[in-house]
Amino acid sequence: MKGFVFLLLTSISAIGQAPGKGNVTANVIAFDRADLEHCSVVIVEHRPMLQTIYNGTSVAVGLPVSTAEGDFRVFIVVRQIGPGKAQVKPKDFSALHSDPSHTRFSFYDKAAEVDKRTVRQNTKETGVLTAGAREDPSLQGVTPTPGPEANSTREAMWRRAKNEDLNRPTRELEQNREEDQSKSPPGVSMTPDELYLRRSTVRQGSYAEGFVYFRKPKGSTFNIGSHDLLVEIDIPVNGIVFRFG
């Protein structure tokens, strides 16, 4: 996906589309800007995204953004615009890194991580509240103010983002979108199910969207830099692999 970032940042208004018959191989639909009928650069929720439409299914992927933890985050939208339902299995998603060996990154269940972190945080806060209530009954029902550790992830991501590169504005925008959507004011917060696509099969009728994380294989020693790219992303839907690269 050598030109992925350049395409999204410089060709937002361009129309270039994907799969003609020559691009369909073993149920793989490759994005092709020359196919004006099926592929294009579109704007979804204010994001520039590559979109392929094939056999009534629309798949769009946003700019891959590297994270402070060494993962890549991609916003993905799947729509079944024809008859039937879109069957999405995020655990089958994968991507190729830009390193010389094109290491394959697999789907990482970010929603499960958020669930565990939320449970730990709630347990910790409950323990602090209980201990405080024993000492001072007047504190019952009062939620303690989160400590500095609550902002550790944000600070790590900020330190990562401040390294200058051509895609910094878009990276920061995507980072801020995820952080804003994951905030938890009453009545406004999004659940992990709404924010991320999970590992298990997602059945949302004709529509599914969310952030997807890709993680390098265990044992890989190379570091992910702010300039690193994904050269290919595979999104299987209804037995067809939509390939963006």
Q: Which residue has the higher pLDDT, 77 or 155?
A: 77
Between 232 and 141, the more confident residue is 232
| Long-range Cβ contact pairs of 190-195 (< 8 A, separation 24 or more) | 192/110, 192/111, 192/112, 192/114, 192/115, 193/111, 195/111, 195/114
pLDDT on residue 189: 67
pLDDT 10s digits, 216-230 = 999 888 888 777 889
Give the residue extent of every domain in the chain. Answer: 4-109+189-244
Q: pLDDT tens-digit profile of 72-131?
A: 999 999 999 988 888 888 999 999 999 999 999 999 999 999 988 777 766 665 655 555
* 20-71 pLDDT per residue, tens: 444 555 699 999 989 999 999 999 888 899 999 999 999 999 999 998 889 9
Apex CA 69: angle with CA 68 and CA 71, to 5°?
Answer: 100
Instruction: Tell me which amino acid residue 135 is.
Output: E
The pTM of the whole model exceeds 0.75: no
CATH number of 4-109+189-244: 2.60.40
Question: Backbone dihedral region of 111: left (phi > 0), alpha (psi from -120 to 50 degrees) or beta?
Answer: alpha
Please report which confidence band the pLDDT of residue 15 belongs to, taking 50, 70 and 90 as the band edges: very low
| Mean pLDDT over the full length of the chain | 76
Q: What's the pLDDT at 108?
A: 96
